[in-house]
Structure 1
Amino acid sequence: MAQNIKTSVKHMVAKANAQITTLSIDEARALIDSPDHVIVDLRDIRELQRTGKIPGAFSCPRGMLEFWIDPASPYHKEIFNQDKTYVFYCASAWRSALSAKVAQDMGLAPVAHIAGGFTAWAKAEAPIEDLHK
């Protein structure tokens, strides 16, 4: 028997995008050295090793996000306990849209994500930190 999926990922992403802030590549590029922002890379370590990351981005695997944000979690990371704007990205802005929405729902604020994700970032020839140095 097939599963009876009630909503699609595409619908969930569209719903999240309607409720969160989306930054253009140029807007995000201007934040690289900002002391008031934390850029969060949600991609898997294999993706990071293969393609690099936005310079200075904090790596948080998508599966750990909620646990690292919640101060009551034994996995909490202090980086998520700052008075800063959190800017999420992934490969194509689907995971980051859902992540920004979840983070916002948890009370992390303000949050945003980067339109087009790392794919758009690389295509725009924005700076990339090579992790093989």
Structure 2
Amino acid sequence: MKKGYKDLVGEAMAEVKTYSVEEAKAKLGDPNVQFVDVRDVRELEREGVIPGAFPAPRGMIEFWVDPDSPYFKPVFGEKKEFIFFCAAGWRSALTTKTVQDMGLENVAHIEGGFKAWKEAGGAVGVKENKPKS
């Protein structure tokens, strides 16, 4: 293996903004901030969600962020700060680097992911049946 996941995650972490859970919690509810959950739908159902977070599976992010894609989601065209998270912070680091490389501005991710969020007493809700666009 020339470059493993640890290398890729490390490179991403060196290039993206990372918020501690406390910093992220302070931004929850800010109308200029959109939390984005890149976990798999089964994780959302099993573990819960951050209230108001937009569910965007890691496998679709490039297509949902690109306005030229037929799968573009308008939420990514809004002038907001996007804070990505996953279960532990690895997928969200990679996602944040990817969308940053694509040109999406004002992006960050949460150190430790949803696991750290829950452990720190962050707000947790149940998965909605239909995501907002």
Normalization by structure 2: what TM-score?
0.94
Question: How far apart are residue 125 of structure 1 and its match?
Answer: 1.5
Establish whether residue 117 from structure 1 lines up as the match of residue 133 from structure 2. Answer: no
Q: Percent identity?
A: 50
- The CA deviation string for residues 60-111 of structure 1, in whole angstroms up to 9 with x for no partner, is 0000000000000000000000111110000000000000000000000110
Q: Give matches, 1:1-133, under 5 Å.
A: 5-131=1-127
Larger radius of gyration: 1
Q: How many residue pairs get matched?
A: 129
- The CA deviation string for residues 41-61 of structure 1, in whole angstroms up to 9 with x for no partner, is 000000000011111100000
Letter in 2 for 1:20: V
Question: How far apart are residue 17 of structure 1 and its match?
Answer: 0.5
Moved over 6 A (4+): none
Cα root mean square deviation, aligned: 1.3
Normalization by structure 1: what TM-score?
0.94
CA distance in 1, matches of 2:53, 2:127: 12
- Which consecutive unaligned segments of at least 5 residues does structure 1 have? none
CA distance in 2, matches of 1:85, 1:41: 14
CA distance in 1, matches of 2:127, 2:14: 34
- Secondary structure in structure 2 of the residue aligned to 1:18: helix
